[in-house]
Amino acid sequence: MGQWHNPHPGRRSGRENRCRGDCQTVAAGVQGKRPDVVFTYTINETGRAGVKAVSLWVVVICTVILAGCSGGGGSSSRDSAAPQASYASPQVYGEKQPISSLVPTITGTATSYSVTPSLPAGLVLDATTGSISGTPVAAAKTADYTIRVTGPSGSTTTNLSLTVVPVVSVSRMVVASTSVAPLVTLNAASTGLSGNVYAKAIDPDGVFSVPVTVNASAGNYVLELSTLSSVSTGLHTGQVVVNLYTDAACTRPQKMPSVWVNYTVNVLDSGGAWPGNHLTALSSIQGASEWATFQGNAAHTGYVPVRLDPNQFSTRWQISVPALLYYNSWCNLATVTTEGGNFYMAGNDAVTARSEYDGSTLWSYSFSGLPNPSVNPPAVSNGVVYVAAGQQSSTYMYALDAMTGSKLFQSAMSSQWEHYLAPTVGSSGVYTNAGTYGGLYAFNFQGDRLYFAGAEQQSAWTPAVDANSVYVYTGDALRVFDPVLGTLKTSITDTTFTNYIYLINGSAVLGAANSVFAAVYGNSNLNGGDIGNSLVHFNLVSNTVDWSVRGVYPSTPAYDSGVIYVANNNPLRLEARSEADGKLIWSCTPPASGDTRFVSEVLLTKDAVIVSTNLSTYAIDRSTHHVVWSYPSAGNLVLSPRGILYIEGYSAQGSTTTLTAINVH
């Protein structure tokens, strides 16, 4: 090792100064490296206590050329450094949304780039420039990606944290001053969500409220958002970010930290402008049958085994049609039936066929030439429209060709001045309420009378029918007849019944085997609802009423899989009750302050209960029991297998009313 001693203690030579300066400059950048050359300087320093020797070790790396300390203007050189890259991190992108190119900041000369692991599908790293671009095709939980940048002098790595969050769309109609609760479903496996998930919504436009309910279901997490009832009328568009957490305090994000919800919310009031026609091509909903008669089918369950997505709902068309009210306007008889892309309604002593596509009239058959003209709502089956028309001695069952309106048969019946619900078509014939003093008429499909069976005189009812029996509820009893012979198979007395006004205003509903529901719905209107009525369950095994529930039930309920869904005016709520014992399972109260009563039967799908109050129509989710869609029009409800929800309004007899068609898929 070379050593150099200053011959003049107490002062530094220029040679020493130059070397000392060079060594400080180089040594500062190589801390911790083994020295290639070591010089020892001994400097005598005089102080009060005497003279002491201070040894200073200066580390000099090999890049210092020894000749530089011997005078004469030496030189030094350094290798070029490897390139360095950095990216703005973390990055959060939305699935299926193009990103702005992410360009790195570079120090040095870079010639190529690579990344490990591969970026989420749809995103690409440019191997020459290092920029990241593209459109992520699916959600990807938060992960770190190592990007290697290479240049002439070597390579370095940098990390990028990147997340692709789910992006969903919500489109809703909602009645002003109320709220709806859209559902967003996230798959746990594809999003990386696990354990307890908590959420809150951030909406800068104030359409959605902050709280979000999260429920786990069959490998998914279902987020329930809610619009604010204070949102102004009109169309609102925006994006709400729903942040996802692992803790109830919402401080620790999930690996999938959020979901972006793009929304269109149309807040409507009853006096507002029509949102516009949307005449999309008609297409069938798989699993849906024609709405053939009162409450859709011969069992009158009001049930259509399909799932509806309220995000797909839109206004299709709206037309004026004749009103058909009965008994102090308590009964809205202007019900719709459907077949083959057409729908059929009664009013102004006529039956009219219209196109489901745009509501245009196809044909009309008038009964005004009868001595005592009147009309009741029609049924339709296998290309034939069946309707009971006329009164007193000019009462008939008509069969009309569904495509042309031409008469196929006209079979005599008798009646007084009452009205009826739509006939019910079974496998053996067509059945209707009629008779001078009440009863049941049955006809085969050629118009021949099968039989007339006596029953208590009541109006505005229709029988339920299955392959084996015809079920007639007239308040005093449930009677079960043979469908072909008309023989009485059984009769079960309803001890809850009091006959006030000779009006049923509904039908028996068939549940599971040997199970029938009924009520005298007409009594719900008496004394402003103070009298009320009872929902009754008939057990055809024991031939008894095995339970009844007191309330103010104004309309025929719907049924599916052991649960009856029924509207109750006091307390005002939709009720889901057990078929086995009538116990309340859950309920939902209409949200508007002006909602005072229900005016429609209950319509049921696999995932929704749809019902009208005096003001609006609401779709209620069967799992959350909250309103997910609403529209400011009320009346009888029908769901067509071509994806149209009909809302048939009501007004005074002899005037017109509004028929609204809503696309539901």
Residue 385 clears pLDDT 60, i.e. is over it: yes
Cα–Cα distance between 430 and 105 in angstroms, integer? Answer: 80
Tell me the per-residue pLDDT of 533-592, one tens digit each, with 9 for 90 and over: 999 999 999 999 999 999 999 999 999 999 999 999 999 999 999 999 999 999 999 999
Pairing type for strands 253-268 and 167-175 reads parallel
CA distances for 616 relative to 200, 235, 334, 345, 632, angstroms: 30, 19, 18, 22, 4
Residue 77 clears pLDDT 80, i.e. is over it: no
Tell me the per-residue pLDDT of 231-252, one tens digit each, with 9 for 90 and over: 999 999 999 999 999 999 999 9
Residue 397 clears pLDDT 90, i.e. is over it: yes
Residue 208 clears pLDDT 80, i.e. is over it: yes
8 A C-beta contact, residue 363 and residue 353 = yes
Task: Please report, for the chain, the start and end positions of each structural domain, with discontinuous segments joined by +.
Answer: 14-69, 84-164, 168-268, 310-663
Cα–Cα distance between 614 and 595 in angstroms, integer? Answer: 6
Stretch 439-465: mean pLDDT, rounded? 97
pLDDT at position 652:
59
> Coil, strand or helix: which one is 312?
helix
Stretch 132-159: mean pLDDT, rounded? 96
Cα–Cα distance between 346 and 364 in angstroms, integer? Answer: 9
Nearest to 112 by CA among 82, 79, 80, 145: 82
Tell me the per-residue pLDDT of 301-340, one tens digit each, with 9 for 90 and over: 999 999 999 999 999 999 999 998 888 888 899 899 999 9
pLDDT at position 357:
98
Cα–Cα distance between 231 and 173 in angstroms, integer? Answer: 12
Q: What are phi and psi of 153, to 5 degrees?
A: -105, 15
pLDDT at position 17:
38
Residue holding tokens 């709902």?
A: 313
Give 323-371 as a DSSP string: --EETTTTEE----EEETTEEEEEETTEEEEEETTT--EEEEEE-TTSS
Q: Cis before residue 257, ω within 30 degrees of 0?
A: no
Cα–Cα distance between 390 and 351 in angstroms, integer? Answer: 12
Which one of 2.60.40.10, 3.40.50.720, 2.40.50.1070, 1.20.120.1200 gives the CATH number of domain 168-268?
2.60.40.10
Cα–Cα distance between 201 and 241 in angstroms, integer? Answer: 6
Q: Which residues are registered as beta bridge partners of 659?
A: 319, 648
> Is the pLDDT higher at 46 or at 111?
111
8 A C-beta contact, residue 450 and residue 429 = yes
One-letter amino acid for residue 225 of the chain: L
**Which helix (DSSP H) or strand (DSSP E) does residue 458 occupy?**
none
Nearest to 613 by CA among 584, 588, 633: 633
Residue 34 clears pLDDT 90, i.e. is over it: no
Stretch 468-495: mean pLDDT, rounded? 98
**Which helix (DSSP H) or strand (DSSP E) does residue 23 occupy?**
helix 14-27
> Coil, strand or helix: which one is 96?
coil
Residue 614 clears pLDDT 70, i.e. is over it: yes
CA geometry: angle at 479 spanning 477 and 484, to 5°?
Answer: 165
Cα–Cα distance between 286 and 403 in angstroms, integer? Answer: 24
CATH fold group of domain 84-164? Immunoglobulin-like (2.60.40)
Cα–Cα distance between 371 and 412 in angstroms, integer? Answer: 13
Residue 19 clears pLDDT 50, i.e. is over it: no
Burial class (CB in 10 A: 0-12, 13-18, 19+), 411: middle
What is the Cα 654 distance to its own chain's centre?
Answer: 38
Residue 13 clears pLDDT 50, i.e. is over it: no
Share of the chain above pLDDT 90, in %: 84
Residue 70 clears pLDDT 60, i.e. is over it: no
Q: What is the DSSP letter of 188?
A: H
What's the whole-model pTM score?
0.86
Do 84-164 and 168-268 show the same overall fold?
yes
To the nearest whole number, what is the mean pLDDT of the chain?
89
Residue 402 burial (CB count, 10 A) = 23
Burial class (CB in 10 A: 0-12, 13-18, 19+), 631: buried
pLDDT at position 305:
98
Cα–Cα distance between 415 and 409 in angstroms, integer? Answer: 19
> Is the pLDDT higher at 180 or at 47?
180
pLDDT at position 3:
41
Sign of CA dihedral 105, 107, 113, 115: negative
Pairing type for strands 331-332 and 325-326 reads antiparallel
pLDDT at position 653:
56
CATH of span 310-663: 2.130.10.10
> Coil, strand or helix: which one is 19?
helix
Tell me the per-residue pLDDT of 517-550, one tens digit each, with 9 for 90 and over: 999 999 999 998 999 999 999 999 999 999 999 9
The mean-pLDDT minimum among 224-238, 512-526, 596-610, 642-656 falls in 642-656
8 A C-beta contact, residue 378 and residue 339 = no
One-letter amino acid for residue 402 of the chain: A
